[in-house]
């Protein structure tokens, strides 16, 4: 008995729809960094952790808007035609998912950077903030 085959695999069309749906709402640190290095400015990288966490250390080029503070007032000047790429602490954090829900309710296009800040650091990508150069920051 194969555990791999215990549940039948999806058809190629079902798999294509599934992965397209997943990729339409997710990206990863490597893709974000590659686009930053290429000068792509079609998205805004948003750190949705607490403001104090952002001040300690955040992904280079990110702006801060804690997910609990997302509202029509705090996003009034934000362009709705620019994709927002959101991140929180790690794969164990759902702050970016909460932020994605809130931003999308306000009419923004969003993607979650899977792995969050933890995987941004693990890949050795540049960070900014008061604790740059110290041990990795985790939440």
Query: Which whole-number Å values give the CA distances from 100 to 23, 37, 75, 95, 112, in the listed order?
Result: 14, 25, 13, 8, 7
Q: What average pLDDT does the segment 133-137 reach?
A: 65
pLDDT at site 132? 82
Q: What average pLDDT does the segment 109-134 reach?
A: 92
pLDDT at site 134? 62
> Which tokens in the block code for residue 43?
């998205």
Percent of the chain with pLDDT over 70: 96
pTM of the model: 0.92
Of 3.40.50.300, 3.90.170.10, 3.30.1330.10, 3.40.250.10, the CATH number of 25-128 is 3.40.250.10
pLDDT at site 137? 63
């Amino acid at each position: 008995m194969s555990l791999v085959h215990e549940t039948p695999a999806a058809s190629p069309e079902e798999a294509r729809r599934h992965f397209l749906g997943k990729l339409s709402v997710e990206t990863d640190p490597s893709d974000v960094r590659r686009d930053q290095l290429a000068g792509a400015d079609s998205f805004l990288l948003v750190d949705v952790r607490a403001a104090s966490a952002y001040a300690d250390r955040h992904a280079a080029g990110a702006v801060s808007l804690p997910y609990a503070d997302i509202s029509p007032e705090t996003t009034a000047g934000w362009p709705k035609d620019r994709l927002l790429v959101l991140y929180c602490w790690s794969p164990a954090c759902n702050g970016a998912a909460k932020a994605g829900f809130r931003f999308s309710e306000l009419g923004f296009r969003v993607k979650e950077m899977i792995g969050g800040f933890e995987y941004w650091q693990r890949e050795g990508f540049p960070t900014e903030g008061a604790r740059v150069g110290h041990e990795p920051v985790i939440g």
